[in-house]
Amino acid sequence: MKSRWQDSEADQFRSRYAACGDDVALRVYSSRLLGRESALVLHGGGNTSVKTTAMDLLERSIDVLCVKGSGSDLSVVEPAGLPAVRLQPLRELRVLEALSDQAMVDAVRGALLDSKAPNPSVETLLHAFLPHRFVDHTHADAILVLTDQPDPAVHVRAAFGNDVVLLPWIMPGFPLAKAVAAAFEQNPGCRGIVLAKHGLFTFGDSARASYERTIELVDRAERYIAQQIGGLPAMLLDEPAPLPAAERRTVLERALPALRGALALPLDTAVGPQWQRVVAEARIGDAVAAFSAHASAGPLCATNPVTPDHVLRTKGHYLFLSRDDAVDPGQCRRAVAAFASVYGRYHAAHGTRWSRVMLPGTPVVAVIAGVGLVALQESRKAARIAADIAEHTLAVKAAAHALGRYVPLTDEELAAMEYWPLERAKLGPHKALPLAGQVALVTGAAGAIGAGIVEALLDNGACVFATDVDAARLQVVATRFAAHAGNLATGTADVTDPASVARLFAAVCSTFGGVDVVVPNAGIAHVSRLESMDLATFAKVMAVNTTGTLLVLKEAARVFRQQGTGGNVVVQASKNTFAPGAGFGAYSASKAAALQLSRIAALEFAELGVRVNAINADAVFGDDEVPSQLWQEVGPGRMAARGLDAAGLRQFYKERSLLKATVLPRHVGEAVVFFASERTPTTGAVLPVDGGLPEAFPR
């Protein structure tokens, strides 16, 4: 590992945060350097601090400790993420023999200069008790390889000599703070303190000194491991090979819907059975695939995590599945049930001391033999965090196994951390959006209505795969919703081509794990009277609007069946299904056929728990950036026939509706969200979104 410190960058931080002073500015800089090294900390792990001065309300200079807020991410930390606490009252606590968690929290929050600041780290007292201006704490992979062993001292001494002090596992909080302070005072020349099965503390009188001491010690650990086992992680070498990359993807596309369905939790509601679903994030690179093929992969997945901080994000154990079991919905459900049963026994034996209420016992991470790993959580962000942690966990377990024997925390020690209120508080408050955990597929997403549907689904918490045949227009939509990039994926597809539609659903499954909301929205228009209708053009309109809907329904049914958790199909039909217009025969006939297909699907998909409904929209123009392709086709003729310009045509359609309303793409999107939210036990319905047109009332 190399130092990434650059004086020029440090000066930029001094300038950017000049109002906070050099100490805090450089603390932010070096904290981000640590946070950007995934082999040091991941997603809220680790913490840093600096001792400096601030002015109190009486304009007196006081000593303060600026320490990372609990659960915040070092890689993006800002000065506000290092809340300042009065140092002296915290240091005075060291004389106590014991201090309860609640009393510790009260003391730390009571010392805050700003009562609205985030909660300081649970290790604030540890930072306060050490004398150094700068203190860094990481969960470095290489350090954990050395300490998750039967006798950590053997490897720590071999790697560092007397340059570090090794402490056994101690629960974070007041006892650990006192132990670390005492260890330093007994060894004032040490360059760091290693906490078994936890991580590393380093310190210094400057941000650079403390940071580079972390890098130095981790580099020494990495070099020692490489000397002993020939690299990180050695157990992945010279073992049965994983599947080739293409075959991994094929297995994954089949396995994810089955696994995702097995992990969905049933919810009893007033409108019938519903599901709390999860989103998948898969990792099938060569290294993790090689681990999954190893004979020791299964036993290692059944061991506790490399550091207890990870239990919050991934649970203690990982589910291990053979390839055959992974693609079989029934076997997946049995494997998940067995996992949950083991977790229940773990909680009964060790967790009830901390909480009578058991956390969900289903797995968060699954490892598929020869393929790789999958993390499944309620949100894409949480799934990605869990997958990142799982990749590092497998690498550490592999290296520790090769170095000696992997020995993590005991179940009793892990349960104390998993159910510790101060640890769980790191996750912060959580309020799920209505469609959290759901995956939606929207075809024709590059048009005005498609973009409105995508927007509404994203805003309500769904992960969305947006597809269109027009790559350029699809990119415009992707750019518009860049703020949702983590929950939005795009890909081109031709809905008239069965192979293209099959590839589309495979892409959705490999990206998010499956699909719950399917919106066949792709459509084209053509203006022609019947007597002059071009048959080839008529066939093209029918192919997109009708056959395209059929092909999407066919593939959706296959995935719905594999998941076994119901779902929703919302067909974008048209006001023209009930109130066609002259010169619009091809479009009206094709949309009427699509509506009829949706009604047949409502009959046939009910056995899968899938609801199928339709939306009849009208006069949805879009905007200059994402215009309606239909109105680009028919608008010029309508304007010429009525002697109107573009603005006049919009006003005409607004005024002809009962509600005198402008129908926006987002209105159609909200109708889709209504059906996807399953607030009523409705299937086979047609919902007009047209401002009110009597001739188009469903009947």
Domains of the chain: 7-229 (3.40.225.10), 245-427 (3.40.225), 439-691 (3.40.50.720)
What does pLDDT average to over the chain? 94
pLDDT in tens, 111-137: 999 999 999 999 999 999 999 999 999
pLDDT in tens, 394-448: 999 999 999 999 999 999 999 999 998 887 777 766 778 999 999 999 999 999 9
Hey, is 550 helix, strand or coil? helix
Average pLDDT (524-546) is 96
pLDDT band at 632 (very low <50, low <70, confident <90, very high): confident
Q: Strand 365-368's sheet: what is its strand order?
A: 279-283, 372-377, 365-368, 319-321
pTM of the model: 0.92
Q: Output the pLDDT for position 168.
A: 96
Q: Output the pLDDT for position 373.
A: 97
CB of 365 closer than 8 Å to CB of 374: yes
Average pLDDT (344-360) is 93
Parallel, antiparallel or unpaired: strands 164-167 and 192-195: parallel
CB of 309 closer than 8 Å to CB of 392: no
Q: Output the pLDDT for position 231.
A: 62
Of the given ranges (20-34, 256-270, 672-686), which has the lowest mean pLDDT? Answer: 256-270
Q: CB within 8 A of 539, min separation 6: which ones?
A: none
pLDDT band at 630 (very low <50, low <70, confident <90, very high): confident
Q: Output the pLDDT for position 598.
A: 98
Q: Output the pLDDT for position 648.
A: 87
CB of 549 closer than 8 Å to CB of 571: yes
Q: Strand 192-195's sheet: what is its strand order?
A: 84-86, 61-67, 47-55, 134-138, 199-204, 192-195, 164-167
pLDDT in tens, 60-115: 999 999 999 987 899 999 999 999 999 999 999 999 999 999 999 999 999 999 99
**Got the DSSP string for 62-80?**
EEEEEEPBTT--GGG--GG
- Residue from 211, 318, 587, 653 carrying the catalytic annotation: 587
Average pLDDT (203-214) is 97
pLDDT in tens, 650-677: 898 899 999 999 999 999 999 999 999 9
What percent of the chain has a predicted confidence (pLDDT) above 90? 84
Q: CB within 8 A of 14, min separation 6: which ones?
A: 22, 25, 26
pLDDT at 527 over 70: yes
Residue 528 gets which letter from DSSP? B
Q: Output the pLDDT for position 643.
A: 87
How far CA 28 is from CA of 23, 32, 156, 205, in Å, comes to 9, 6, 30, 15
pLDDT band at 148 (very low <50, low <70, confident <90, very high): very high
Residue 269 gets which letter from DSSP? E
Average pLDDT (506-520) is 97
pLDDT in tens, 463-511: 999 999 999 999 999 999 999 989 999 999 999 999 999 999 999 999 9
CB of 147 closer than 8 Å to CB of 122: no
Average pLDDT (129-149) is 97
Average pLDDT (684-688) is 97
Residues 66, 268: Cα–Cα separation, whole Å: 47
pLDDT at 560 over 60: yes
Q: Output the pLDDT for position 241.
A: 84
| Residue 587 annotated to the active site | yes
| Chain centroid, CA 516 distance in Å | 17
| Cis ω before 240 (30° cut-off from 0) | no
pLDDT band at 629 (very low <50, low <70, confident <90, very high): confident
Q: Output the pLDDT for position 597.
A: 98
What percent of the chain has a predicted confidence (pLDDT) above 70? 98
pLDDT in tens, 225-279: 999 987 655 555 656 788 999 999 999 999 999 999 999 998 877 766 789 999 9
Q: Output the pLDDT for position 367.
A: 98
